[in-house]
Amino acid sequence: MAAKNFNYVILGGGVSAGYAAREFAKQGLKPGELAVISKEAVAPYERPALSKAYLFPESPARLPGFHVCVGSGGERLLPEWYKEKGIELILSTEIVKVDLAGKTLVSGTGESFKYQTLVIATGSTVIRLTDFGVKGAEAKNIFYLREIDDADKLNEAIKSKKNGKAVIVGGGYIGLELGAALRINNLDVKMVYPEPWCMPRLFTSGIAAFYEGHYANKGIKIIKGTVAVGFTANSDGEVKEVHLKDGTVLEADIVVVGVGGRPLTTLFKGQVEEEKGGIKTDAFFKTSVPDVYAVGDVATFPLKLYNEIRRVEHVDHARKSAEQAVKAIKASEEGKTIEEYDYLPFFYSRSFDLSWQFYGDNVGETVLFGDNNPTSPKPKFGTYWIKDGKVVGAFLEGGSPEENQAIAKVAKVQPPVASLDQLAQEGLSFASKI
């Protein structure tokens, strides 16, 4: 089989891939210069929809509704868009071998693809309980959520196990968002996680107390400080019980596991420099190998604002890093330079009728402000993180677009703070005057 040749190849079919393709098209492409190779069967889409609106019982989100780039207010790139732009969309194709020195990719079916410039946008894969040899973890109706196929299977189970019992293993993003989605579908939901509170990598105990209270009010039972150590199945091989380390046994018709992800870097091992679990890049997402760039979850890059090397797993960075890399590729071809990537970390989530945003860094002392009573009809509260006398991070639940912009500005500008007590009293008005 003759190898297919492209100037540019984007490897991966997630959010980064879609935003990189759009940026290539903006910068000017000749037909046949660019290929996007994805193991998924559909064109790149906004992944966050899968844990939210995709699972709604009423008017759920469906493709083509959330193809990129609608998540950031851009146009929807349908499969036809790629055709119009002369971009080859190579779907349902898993790359199993990569030769960076030889600029060649090989698929599971033996097809070869050659490139001049490669953009690695492989994202993350979920961590599975079977990876740790958890007993019974291969039973049916134990779900992980990463791709649209996963969401479809979970959706089928929700329909077939009407008013059934669901157990969520994990208290992070996926756990909280899917806990809410399953409850909205009228399942009896229990959440299990080992940490003292939910979202421990970001939330303080004060922030978490609000969400745990809100979930409890919605009828979700939270079990903290223990983990799932085994599962039993019925005669059809479907999960029926979750065994916890503390001896508790929970009945379950559906189990959803959200215990984190890991960057998909296996194909590149030993061929490219790595750091902090990702592929090391510069401020233009160039790797240690000429003509190879890495974006999104897989990239470990210099975070200029904090003068640190970091890896960021979030859709906002997936979009922006992809655009930066393509601008850098095109600029270097023309002998031009562009600004270094200057990223302000941004995370957000929505569940039930709640919506929070966080900007900056969650280090140092914290100040909680506003109304974080889970029984409030319209709660609005936030937290500032203060390090070396300056505000370095800000979180807000229930903010308006203007208020969210204000806390973003605070995290970027890092204003000094005279007194923590005064900051607590001022609350949101402190951000509004920056």
The CATH number of residue 164's host domain is: 3.50.50.60
Same domain? 134 vs 251: yes
Tell me if 62 is assigned to some domain. Answer: yes
Domain boundary among 218, 234, 259: 259
pLDDT digits (tens, 9 = 90+) for 385-415: 999 999 999 999 999 999 999 999 999 999 9
pLDDT digits (tens, 9 = 90+) for 86-129: 999 999 999 999 999 999 999 999 999 999 999 999 999 999 99
Please say whether the beta carbons of 359 and 340 come within 8 A.
no
Tell me if 339 is assigned to some domain. Answer: no
Same domain? 137 vs 99: no
Tell me if 190 is assigned to some domain. Answer: yes
Domain boundary among 259, 281, 313: 259
User: How many distinct structural domains can be found in the chain?
Assistant: 3
User: Mean pLDDT of all residues in the chain?
Assistant: 97
Tell me if 118 is assigned to some domain. Answer: yes
Tell me if 345 is assigned to some domain. Answer: no
In the chain, the amino acid numbered 13 is G
- The pLDDT-based confidence of 9 (bands split at 50, 70, 90) is very high
Note the pLDDT of residue 79. 97
Note the pLDDT of residue 1. 72
Residue 179 confidence (pLDDT) above 80: yes
Same domain? 177 vs 248: yes
Same domain? 11 vs 108: yes
- The pLDDT-based confidence of 276 (bands split at 50, 70, 90) is very high
DSSP-based three-state secondary structure for 127: coil
Same domain? 137 vs 235: yes
Same domain? 133 vs 217: yes
- The pLDDT-based confidence of 223 (bands split at 50, 70, 90) is very high
Tell me if 313 is assigned to some domain. Answer: yes
Q: In what order do the strands lie in the sheet with 239-244?
A: 228-233, 239-244, 249-251
Note the pLDDT of residue 350. 95
Among candidate residues 283, 289, 290, the one with its CA nearest the CA of residue 328: 283
Same domain? 70 vs 108: yes
Tell me if 342 is assigned to some domain. Answer: no
Domain CATH for 359: 3.30.390.30
* Dihedral-angle region of residue 270 (phi above 0 means left; psi in -120 to 50 means alpha; beta otherwise): left
Q: Which two tokens stand for residue 239?
A: 């999960």
Same domain? 13 vs 105: yes
Burial of residue 141, with CB atoms counted within 10 A of its CB: 0-12 exposed, 13-18 middle, 19 or more buried: buried
pLDDT digits (tens, 9 = 90+) for 141-169: 999 999 999 999 999 999 999 999 999 99
Same domain? 296 vs 244: no
Q: Could you tell me the maximum CA-CA distance found in the chain, to the nearest angstrom?
A: 70
What whole-number distance in Å separates Cα of residue 422 and Cα of residue 418? 8
Same domain? 45 vs 81: yes
Same domain? 295 vs 364: no
Percent of the chain exceeding pLDDT 70 equals 100
| Torsion angle of C-alpha atoms 178, 183, 187, 189, degrees rounded to 10 | 70
Percent of the chain exceeding pLDDT 90 equals 99
For residue 378, what are the domain limits?
353-432
Same domain? 13 vs 116: yes
Tell me if 176 is assigned to some domain. Answer: yes
Domain boundary among 243, 259, 275: 259
